[in-house]
Structure 1
Amino acid sequence: MPGPIQSLERAAAILRLLAGGERRLGLSDVASTLGLAKGTAHGILRTLQQEGFVEQDPASGRYQLGAELLRLGNSYLDVHELRARALVWTDDLARSSGESVYLGVLHQHGVLIVHHVFRPDDSRQVLEVGAMHPLHSSALGKVLAAYDPVAHSEALEAERTAFTDRTVTDAGEFEKVLQLTRARGWGSDLEETWEGVASVAAPVHDRRRMPVGAVGVTGAVERVCLDGEIRPGLVAAVRDAARAVSRDLGATRF
Structure 2
Amino acid sequence: MVQAVHRAFHVLRELATATPRLGVTELADRVGVAKPTVHALLRTLEAEGMVVQDRETGKYRLGPGLVTLGNAYLDSHELRTRAVTWADLLATQVGSAVWVGLLTGREVLVVHHAFRPGGSVQVLETGATLPWNACALGKAIAAFLPAERRTGLLAGELPRVTGASIDAPDLLTAQLDRVRETGHAVDEQELTLGDAGIAAPVFDRTGDVAGAIGLVGPVEHLLTDTARQECAIAVRQVARSLSRDLGAPRNAGLRASD
The answer to whether the superposition gives a TM-score over 0.5 is: yes
Give the counterpart of 1:209 among 207, 210, 220: 207
Give the counterpart of 1:99 among 96, 99, 111: 96
1:155 deviation in Å? 2.5
The C-alpha deviation readout for 1:204-248, integer Å capped at 9, x for no partner, is 001221100100100001111114x86211101111110001001
Contact 1:188 / 1:230 at 8 angstroms: preserved in 2?
Answer: no
Give the counterpart of 2:79 among 76, 79, 82: 82
Aligned to 1:138: 135
The C-alpha deviation readout for 1:39-87, integer Å capped at 9, x for no partner, is xxxxxxxxxxxxxxxxxxxxxxxxxxxxxxxxxxxxxxx9621111111
Give the counterpart of 1:222 among 220, 227, 240: 220
Give the counterpart of 1:172 among 170, 173, 185: 170
Contact 2:109 / 2:128 at 8 angstroms: preserved in 1?
Answer: yes
- Cα distance in 2, alignment partners of residues 232 and 88 from structure 1: 23
Structure 2 residue identity aligned to 1:129: T
Q: The residue matched to 2:99 in structure 1 has which SS?
A: strand
Aligned to 2:250: 253
Assess, with a 3 A threshold, how the Cα gap between structure 1 residues 128 and 204 changes in structure 2: closer, same or farther.
same
Aligned to 2:66: none
Aligned to 1:196: 194
1:154 deviation in Å? 4.3
Contact 2:140 / 2:184 at 8 angstroms: preserved in 1?
Answer: yes
**Residue 126, structure 1, aligned to residue 123, structure 2:** yes
Assess, with a 3 A threshold, how the Cα gap between structure 1 residues 151 and 145 changes in structure 2: closer, same or farther.
farther
Structure 2 residue identity aligned to 1:187: A
Structure 2 residue identity aligned to 1:184: T
Q: The residue matched to 2:137 in structure 1 has which SS?
A: helix
Contact 1:106 / 1:151 at 8 angstroms: preserved in 2?
Answer: no
Aligned to 2:237: 240
Structure 2 residue identity aligned to 1:111: V
Structure 1 residue identity aligned to 2:129: M
Contact 1:79 / 1:114 at 8 angstroms: preserved in 2?
Answer: no
Aligned to 1:184: 182
Q: The residue matched to 1:231 in structure 2 has which SS?
A: helix
1:192 deviation in Å? 1.3
- Cα distance in 2, alignment partners of residues 160 and 184 from structure 1: 23
- Cα distance in 1, alignment partners of residues 187 and 90 from structure 2: 18
Structure 2 residue identity aligned to 1:157: A
Contact 1:200 / 1:230 at 8 angstroms: preserved in 2?
Answer: no
Percentage identity across paired residues of the two chains = 42
Q: The residue matched to 2:233 in structure 1 has which SS?
A: helix
Give the counterpart of 1:113 among 93, 107, 110: 110
Assess, with a 3 A threshold, how the Cα gap between structure 1 residues 91 and 161 changes in structure 2: closer, same or farther.
same
Q: The residue matched to 1:136 in structure 2 has which SS?
A: helix
Contact 1:200 / 1:217 at 8 angstroms: preserved in 2?
Answer: yes
1:47-66 to 2 correspondences below 5 Å: none
- Cα distance in 1, alignment partners of residues 191 and 176 from structure 2: 16
Q: The residue matched to 1:214 in structure 2 has which SS?
A: strand
Contact 2:221 / 2:227 at 8 angstroms: preserved in 1?
Answer: no
TM-score by length of 1: 0.65
Matched residues, number = 176
